[in-house]
């Protein structure tokens, strides 16, 4: 079955090509079948490969498939080759399966959109590019997928291109992530200069021999790769593009946040974990960036009124948890949280899409409310997703994945009290803003009439994802609850284990109780403030400092304004200064000269035969004279 590996990639790309070439001529039903079906087939192929991979004896650590040689220049010959190990398998399964559910949902969500086939072409391409990224066996091919993902995000965020604001958001996402990509590209150049290859396995084997631990080159490379990851995963300081990326349709947000784009950075760091382990300073930076980001984004999420922006800041914050885990060396905990996050965040975005569509494209939560009884399926699934996001103890998957990170940030070898405190405060903020969102949206009195009820193709993905958000956590239980570690056992051949500080094991119970208490108290605070006595919020809002803080957080800690003042304005000023480009003037002169000469020569084409003859005769006389004289 391993030689069918390429099929996983081929289906989404084939779907995208068919829809791009024949899209406008296809009926909506056919386009929907091709668009969602190609991802479905890809998911089936992925499951088949996964079954083969996990049941084969002796147990393989990876499958490798060379498709063809890309090019061969001066000894550098990257191949289009696929590498599937436990890590990429987890990503492939999440991308294809969650991607398929999102596609299925989109067939109904986008049913009335005029650019139906273009939407599915871009979505298929998005999934295909992400699959290239996670299956690539060398960093050049990975970079191809990396840029493909960036391109598709630009196409999809600006999907409703007739509104200039959407185009602006698309450009912002493209350019901000490109800042990170540039850093990553320099990192790749350095890796090639060091190893003479970009093959990931070869780099992993050679790195420990070439670099001592803490060598400055390893540190530089790791930091440059981190720059790329920070851009794609919307972490500090390049997080500003993600909230604006909400301009795209809701399924696009679900795909970007759950299965593609923002998880690319997590994948890159995990894939290059050898390099990061040789540069402890860079790894500590990853943890610190994660901790800071989860706090900053969490505070911003508290103040947003746009339903999708709350979720966007929530994603930034949850990816912060993943970065924190990666920085701690808790690789499998980070990937576990990625998987669970993909389930509940896709669920939340799709649920938000239903709500927004039902209320006639109303994004403002304060004008929603009272949807609990009118849309019970959406309410219950959204509640499950929110509970998972808030890490409601024992019953939700989010608890198991987040508890692991909390515990390791304290007890892990690289953990510290500061990181633990940040993660704990972040967990509290998460459950407050999550249930603030639930209470405002679904409880209270109804403020906007419902104009559209979701059909089965929209509710089915919600139910499936809700089930996964509940039971998905049981494949990896904390050590003190049961010795059941299916997920980390699966990843063990690829990713090293995290080392726990000695004599900390007895504390795990207390830590879990603390985490559970924090989560529950966050929900209670949200209940008090937003459901029981909303007057408290209003009195809080009337006080000056609170209002200023609210505005500051609402504006995303002023990062946009800072970048605007620091980078955008000076650049625009310089561009205005040089409006008529100095260097352009030379070339303008050149074209003007050529054009005037052309005008002169065109005068001689007057159609008078005798003039031509005179020209010929004079020319002949001149040539003869010259040949005689010289």
Contact between 365 and 437 (Cβ < 8 Å): yes
Instruction: Name which of residues 350 to 369 contact other proteins (CB under 8 A).
Output: none
Decide if residue 622 touches other proteins (CB under 8 A). no
Shortest Cβ 622–other proteins spacing (Å): 14
Report, in Å, the least distance between residue 591 CB and other proteins: 20
Angle (CA) 455 345 372, round 5°: 50
Distance CA 200, CA 136 (A): 9
The span of 332-340, 423-431, 536-544, 613-621 binding other proteins (CB under 8 A) equals 613-621
Angle between helices 417-442 and 397-411 (to 10 degrees): 160
Q: Which is nearer to other proteins, 503 or 605 (CB)?
A: 605
Burial of 259 (0-12, 13-18, 19+ CB in 10 A): buried
Residue of 29, 73, 582, 609 that binds other proteins (CB under 8 A): 609
Nearer Cβ to other proteins (576/603): 603
**Position of tokens 């919307």?**
234
Please report how close the Cβ of residue 610 comes to other proteins at its closest, in angstroms: 6
> CB atoms < 10 A from the CB of 608, how many?
10
Q: Residue 209 interacts with other proteins (CB under 8 A)?
A: no
Helix axes 200-210, 164-195, angle to 10 degrees: 50
Instruction: Confirm if 451 and 546 have CB atoms less than 8 A apart.
Output: no
Q: Report in angstroms how near the CB of residue 619 gets to other proteins at its nearest.
A: 13
Pairing of strands 79-85, 62-69: antiparallel
Q: Helix, strand or coil for residue 68?
A: strand
Which residue blocks in 328-364 are alpha helix, DSSP H?
331-358
# residues near other proteins by CB under 8 A: 10
DSSP states along 142-162: HHHHHHHHHHHHHHHHTSSTT
Question: What distance in Å separates the CA atoms of residue 132 and residue 259, rounded to the nearest whole number?
Answer: 13
Smallest gap, in angstroms, from Cβ of residue 15 to other proteins?
52
Conformation bin of residue 300: beta by default, left when phi > 0, alpha when psi is -120 to 50: alpha
- What minimum distance in Å lies between the beta carbon of 604 and other proteins? 8
- Binding status of residue 608 toward other proteins by CB under 8 A: yes
DSSP SS3 for 70:
coil
Burial tier of 72 (Cβ tally within 10 Å: 0-12, 13-18, 19+):
exposed
User: Smallest distance, Å, CB 605 to other proteins?
Assistant: 3
When asked if residue 599 is in the footprint of other proteins (CB under 8 A), the reply is no
Nearest approach in angstroms of CB 627 to other proteins is 17
The Cα–Cα gap between 525 and 431 comes to 9
Question: Is 22 or 621 the residue whose CB approaches other proteins more closely?
Answer: 621
Local structure of 80: helix, strand or coil: strand
Q: Nearest 5°: CA angle at 101, between 144 and 348?
A: 95
Q: Which stretch binds other proteins (CB under 8 A): 83-91, 112-120, 448-456, 600-608?
A: 600-608
Question: Shortest approach of other proteins to residue 613 CB, angstroms?
Answer: 6
Counting Cβ atoms within 10 Å, is residue 131 exposed (0-12), middle (13-18) or buried (19+)?
A: buried
Identify which of residues 175 and 621 has a Cβ nearer to other proteins in the complex: 621
CB nearer to other proteins: give 164 or 607: 607
Identify the residue among 617, 622, 623, 624 touching other proteins (CB under 8 A). 617
| Shortest CB 179 distance to other proteins, Å | 52
For residue 491, the surrounding DSSP H or E stretch is: helix 486-491
CB of 163 or CB of 614, closer to other proteins:
614
Quote the least distance from Cβ 169 to other proteins, whole Å.
51
Query: Among 61-69, 104-112, 205-213, 608-616, which window interacts with other proteins (CB under 8 A)?
Result: 608-616
The values of phi and psi at residue 496, to 5°, are: -70, 155
Q: How far is the CB of 626 from other proteins (least distance, A)?
A: 19
Cα three-residue angle 555-558-561, rounded to 5 degrees: 105
Q: How far is the CB of 603 from other proteins (least distance, A)?
A: 9
Tell me which of 58, 606, 626, 629 binds other proteins, using CB under 8 A.
606
Place of tokens 């998460």: 430
Nearer to other proteins, 594 or 608 (CB): 608
Of the candidates 349, 249, 229, which has an alpha carbon nearest to the alpha carbon of residue 289? 229
The residue among 485, 460, 455 whose CA lies nearest residue 473 is: 485
> Which of residues 480 and 614 has its CB atom nearest to other proteins in the complex?
614
Alpha-carbon span 214 to 92, nearest angstrom: 33
Cβ proximity to other proteins: between 517 and 608 the closer is 608
- The verdict on 597 binding other proteins (CB under 8 A) reads no
Provide, rounded to whole angstroms, the least separation between the CB of residue 593 and other proteins: 20
Cβ distance to other proteins smaller for residue 59 or 606: 606
**610 near other proteins (CB under 8 A):** yes
Which stretch in 12-20, 205-213, 315-323, 605-613 sits in contact with other proteins by CB under 8 A? 605-613
Instruction: Pick one of 74, 510, 535, 602: the residue that binds other proteins (CB under 8 A).
Output: 602
List 164, 544, 545, 607, residue binding other proteins (CB under 8 A): 607
Q: Which is nearer to other proteins, 562 or 618 (CB)?
A: 618
> Between residues 373 and 610, which has the closer beta carbon with respect to other proteins?
610
Per rule CB under 8 A, is residue 596 in the interface with other proteins? no
**Residue 229 in contact with residue 276, Cβ under 8 Å?**
no
Interface residues for other proteins in 533-592 (CB under 8 A)? none
Q: Please, which residue, 579 or 610, has the CB nearer to other proteins?
A: 610
Determine, following the binding rule CB under 8 A, whether residue 600 of this chain makes contact with other proteins. Answer: no
613 is an interface residue for other proteins by CB under 8 A: yes
Look at residue 499 and give its three-state secondary structure: coil
615: which 2 tokens? 């020209």
Contact 229, 237 (CB under 8 A): no
Query: At 67, is the secondary structure helix, strand, or coil?
Result: strand
- In the list 59, 576, 591, 605, the residue contacting other proteins (rule: CB under 8 A) is 605
Which one of the spans 124-132, 276-284, 513-521, 607-615 is the region binding other proteins (CB under 8 A)?
607-615
CB of residue 625 to other proteins, shortest distance in Å: 15
User: Coil, helix or strand for 81?
Assistant: strand
Which residues of the shown chain bind other proteins in the complex (CB under 8 A)?
602, 605-610, 613-614, 617
């Amino acid at each position: 079955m391993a030689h069918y590996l390429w099929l996983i990639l081929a289906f989404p790309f084939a779907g995208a090509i068919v829809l791009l070439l024949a899209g406008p001529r296809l009926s909506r039903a056919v386009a929907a079948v091709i668009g969602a079906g190609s991802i479905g087939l890809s998911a089936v192929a992925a499951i088949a490969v996964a079954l083969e991979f996990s049941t084969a004896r002796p147990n393989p650590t990876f499958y490798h498939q060379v498709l063809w040689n890309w090019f061969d220049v001066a000894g550098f010959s990257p191949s289009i080759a696929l590498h599937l190990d436990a890590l990429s398998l987890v990503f492939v399964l999440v991308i294809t399966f969650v991607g398929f559910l999102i596609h299925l949902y989109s067939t109904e969500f986008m049913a009335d959109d005029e650019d139906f086939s273009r939407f599915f072409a871009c979505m298929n391409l998005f999934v295909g590019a992400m699959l290239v990224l996670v299956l690539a066996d060398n960093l050049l091919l990975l970079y191809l997928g990396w840029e493909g993902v960036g391109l598709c995000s630009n196409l999809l965020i600006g999907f409703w291109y007739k509104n200039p604001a959407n185009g602006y958001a698309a450009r912002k996402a493209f350019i901000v992530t490109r800042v990170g990509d540039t850093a990553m590209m320099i990192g790749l150049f350095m890796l090639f200069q060091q190893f003479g290859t970009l093959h990931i396995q070869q780099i992993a084997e050679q790195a420990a021999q070439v670099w001592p631990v803490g060598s400055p080159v390893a540190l530089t490379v790791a930091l440059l790769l981190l720059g790329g990851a920070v851009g794609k995963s919307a972490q500090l300081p390049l997080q500003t593009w993600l909230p604006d990326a909400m301009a795209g349709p809701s399924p696009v947000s679900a795909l970007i946040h759950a299965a593609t784009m923002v998880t690319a950075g997590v994948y890159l760091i995990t894939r290059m974990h050898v390099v990061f382990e040789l540069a402890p300073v860079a790894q500590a930076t990853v943890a610190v960036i994660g901790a800071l980001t989860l706090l900053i984004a969490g505070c911003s999420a508290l103040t947003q009124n746009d339903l999708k922006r709350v979720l966007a800041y929530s994603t930034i914050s949850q990816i912060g948890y993943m970065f924190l885990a990666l920085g701690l060396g808790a690789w499998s905990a980070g990937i576990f949280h990625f998987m669970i996050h993909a389930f509940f965040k896709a669920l939340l975005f799709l649920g938000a899409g239903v709500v927004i569509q039902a209320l006639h494209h109303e994004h403002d939560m304060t004008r929603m409310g009272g949807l609990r009884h009118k849309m019970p399926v959406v309410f219950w699934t959204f509640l499950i997703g929110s509970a998972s996001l808030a890490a409601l103890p024992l019953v939700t998957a989010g608890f198991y994945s987040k508890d692991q990170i909390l515990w390791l940030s304290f007890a892990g070898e690289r953990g510290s009290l500061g990181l633990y405190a940040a993660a704990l405060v972040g967990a509290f903020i998460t459950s407050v803003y999550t249930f603030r969102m639930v209470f405002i949206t679904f409880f209270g009195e109804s403020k906007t009439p419902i104009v559209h009820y979701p059909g089965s193709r929209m509710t089915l993905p919600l139910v499936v994802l809700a089930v996964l958000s509940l039971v998905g956590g049981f494949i990896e239980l904390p050590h003190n609850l049961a010795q059941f570690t299916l997920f980390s056992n699966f990843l063990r051949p690829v990713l090293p284990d995290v080392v726990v500080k000695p004599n900390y094991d007895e504390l795990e119970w207390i830590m879990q109780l603390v985490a559970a208490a924090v989560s529950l108290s966050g929900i209670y605070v949200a209940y008090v403030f937003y459901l029981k006595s909303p007057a408290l919020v209003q009195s809080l809002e009337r006080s000056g400092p609170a209002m200023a803080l609210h505005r500051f957080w609402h504006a995303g800690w002023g990062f946009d304004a800072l970048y605007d003042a620091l980078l955008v304005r000076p650049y625009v000023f310089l561009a205005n200064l040089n409006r008529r480009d100095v260097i352009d003037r030379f070339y303008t002169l050149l074209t003007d000269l050529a054009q005037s000469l052309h005008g002169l020569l065109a005068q001689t084409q007057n159609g008078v035969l005798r003039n031509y003859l005179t020209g010929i005769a004079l020319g002949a006389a001149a040539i003869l004279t010259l040949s005689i004289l010289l």
